[in-house]
Structure 1
Amino acid sequence: MSEPLNPEQLRSLTPLNVLSEQQWRELRGQLVPQPLLAGQVLFRLGDQARVTYYLLAGELLLQSADGQQQRLQAGSEASCHPLSPSLPRLQEARALSDASVLALDTATLNRLLTWRLAYQDLLLELGQSHDEIEWLGRLLENPLFAKVPPSNVRAMLERLQRIELAAGSTVLQEGDVGDCCYFLKNGRAEVIRGAGGAQQVLAELEIGACFGEEALLADSPRNATVTMLEDGVVLRLDRQDFFALLKAPVVNEVSLGEASRLLAAGAQWLDVRLQEEYERAHALQSLNMPLQLLRLKVRLLDKPRTYLCYCDSGKRSASAVFLLSQLGYSAYALRDGVDALPAVQRDALLCERGSGYLARSGGRTERSR
């Protein structure tokens, strides 16, 4: 069996290259190149499998329904992007030589990508100092937050109750009812299970660790005791606030037809994908403002105007709409993203070259190429 790809091999793949190394580790089981023999079909026209493919080695022939053909060589600029991402597939892909591809679960990739970009925006907003950014970074890398809609995390941080504890203090006790969870902000703490002489040290918690959440999720008593090994600070999150975290926020969505009517009334497309994705194909007259930079560049937007956000899956645009709404802008997300559009509608919306705008630093916009 082939070894998983290493970070250096992933950095050329868009948008996979923006994920953190921890997120790559979460994908590790999928980051194994899959062999493809010459003449073998990777996917057929109309295929609807929710899999994102990248060409890693060899050459493919992509053929559309009207017979148009495109030869794709590994290592080319085009091979750094997903193959025929729209569903159902707009092309058939057949290997012209022995090749290898990377196949990733699309839903997992979209979840990780949306979280990563929203996480970068959150650090930008909340980080007041290097120490604070470091702590927040370690907190947000906690696997718990993979289950939390990114837009909810900001509200959670506002509800945390700071508690200073001395060395030897018991933070939570095995067998107690779970009414909250905790995050370790500084200091050291250990997890112990068992009573009397049968006690067993299970782990020493690192800064940013979340503990006590298992009793909340399972609605069961605490399964271990946590004690401070030195003076430190924990942050408490009450049960009701914890479950409020897991609820996805409601954002305004529109169909392509509804978006067309809003455009006719003066709305503008806002592309929240990476610039590399935008330059590959974008809506005419759209403004590119990647999700992770949205807060930095939002001053370039016109408050009275309505913005129609889009991305590939709809997840990044939903986060963008939530953020813009919080900041007082009128915004809608294209429901389920451009990849869910029928081929004829997607082709009409996106063009490889055409009039568009890039948001730059210094409070200016410029024409895209």
Structure 2
Amino acid sequence: MPVPVEALSRLFPLESLRQETREQLAREALVSEYQRGENVFEAGDLDDDTVYLLEGELRCNYPDGRSVAHIATAPHGRYSLNDAVPRRFTAKVVSGKAKVMRLDRRYLEKLITWDQLSRDDSYRHFGTAPGGNNWVFRLLRAPAFARLPTGNIEKMFQMFEPVTVKPSEVVMREGDTADYFYVVREGTASVSKYLDGAPQVVAYLREGDTFGEDALLSNLPRNATVRMMQGGKLMRLSREAFEAVLKPPMLSWVLPAEAARLVQSGAALLDVRMPEEHAQRAIDGSVNVPLYRLREDIDQVVPSGSRLVVYCNTGERSAAAAFVLKRLGYEVSALHGGLGAMLRLLANAPAA
């Protein structure tokens, strides 16, 4: 159910945001209707939402017996329900019906942070033309950025270097040494790779899409060529800036024992080495999709949204794979120490 942007204008702190930021949040909001007696959430629930009551009345019932009213039309109705997680109370509908709006908590925090930072006179990257900040909204919505601390967002925008590009300009070439991480600010681009001895276009990029991180994370040469289709602008981070601001918070590492526990709990074990390496020696039960084919083939092997543990020989290719997979919507961890660490654990495990 869509929510009119005007509904956000009376809510705190959304009323202080720019109109275009509220419009973006209105597009992302999830609005649901509840009937009398239904619970919006229960005490102890774990979720990722900031919840606003748009219409109706709730009773917030605490485990200790306390009960507090939350009424959409009351002065306190402009505030979200308590964002503490786990939820501290059960929110039950006591009016005939209620309308509730949910926003992704992390995305909301990132947009508020960016909206405030971009008001500073020294801020260089705010687009004044209609749609001039769509690249920011898409960038911050990408799954790979979901757990990026808000402090790193400020650093990232401070370190961005704008680059003007021409139609047909090659921004990076397959086989080159990695130097920058890029975000498309304006324009479109094609991504091609040598497959079966000839270059083939494997993807297209638009505003807010990123590229160049694979080689920076894996310390390998570029695995694709990116050519602009339209002239436009890119934002880039140097290798040093990328490693300082983006690399640490975006990668979730697990030790072998934790990786084994995750796999036993249902996570898929993904080997991102070359097929020849996998055939020579691999962890039992793993599936193989080499890093360079990950974007094209992963959804044929593991459904989107699945929990994954990725590994390679040392961890470098795994780092690149984890970044790619997060952007594709997977919940993913990289095995610290790579194949050798896991094999040592299995070798030392007590016999069943």
TM-score (norm 2): 0.50
TM-score by length of 1: 0.48
